[in-house]
Amino acid sequence: MTEKLITTEIVNSLKAHGWAYKIPDAPSRFAPEKPCDILASINGNIVAIEVKLIKKWQSFGMRAMRPSQIKHLTLIKKSGGMAFVFLNLRMKGVNKLFIFEWESFRMRALPFSIKDLQARPAFPGAKKTFDLKEFCQVVSL
C-alpha cells in the first residue's frame, strides 16, 4: 500500500460529505511545491489535509513533515481555512486513520509515541474507504 493509494481512499471517503481533490504529485522537479495532499470543501469550509502513511507502530511528529507542507498548512490555517494531518497506520490486519488538527500537531513539543498513538481514537478503515462522517460533522461546526 502506498501513500498515493491511501490519499485516493481518503478523497473518495470525503466526497460522500462534500468536495475533495487530490493534488497531483509533481511530475518533475521544476513543478511548484505542493502545499498539501488534499484540498476539500465541507459545508463551505476550506480544508487542507496532508496524508502520511506508516506500516508499523512507530512514533510520529513534525519530523515527518516537509518544510513546504509546514509553510502551507500554517498559511491556510492563518487565513481562515482548516488544516489537518491524516496518519494512516496500515499493516497486516490493521487499518487505522488518525486525525490531527494542524495547530495542535505543530505546537506539540514531542512526537506522539507508540503509546500515545495506541491510546488515541482512530477511524477504522474498511476496504478502500473510511467512514469520515463524524470528522465532517466536526468540520462543519
Of 1, 97, 81, whose CA–CA distance to 35 is shortest? Answer: 81
Question: What's the whole-number mean pLDDT along residues 47-68?
Answer: 96
129 in Cβ contact with 9 (< 8 Å): yes
Model pLDDT, residue 102? 97
| Identity of the amino acid at 133 | K
Vertex 139 angle, CA 136 and 141, to 5°: 115
Q: What class is the 3-140 domain?
A: alpha beta
Which pLDDT tens digit goes with each residue over 85-140? 999 999 998 999 999 999 999 999 999 999 999 999 999 888 788 999 999 998 87
All three cell numbers of 72, joined, read 502551507
Q: Is the dihedral of CA 90, 121, 137, 52 positive or negative?
A: negative
Task: Give the model's confidence band at 141: pLDDT under 50 very low, under 70 low, under 90 confident, else very high.
Answer: low
Q: Where are the domains of the chain?
A: 3-140
Hey, CA dihedral for 24, 136, 5, 50, is it positive or negative? Answer: positive
The predicted model scores a pTM of 0.93
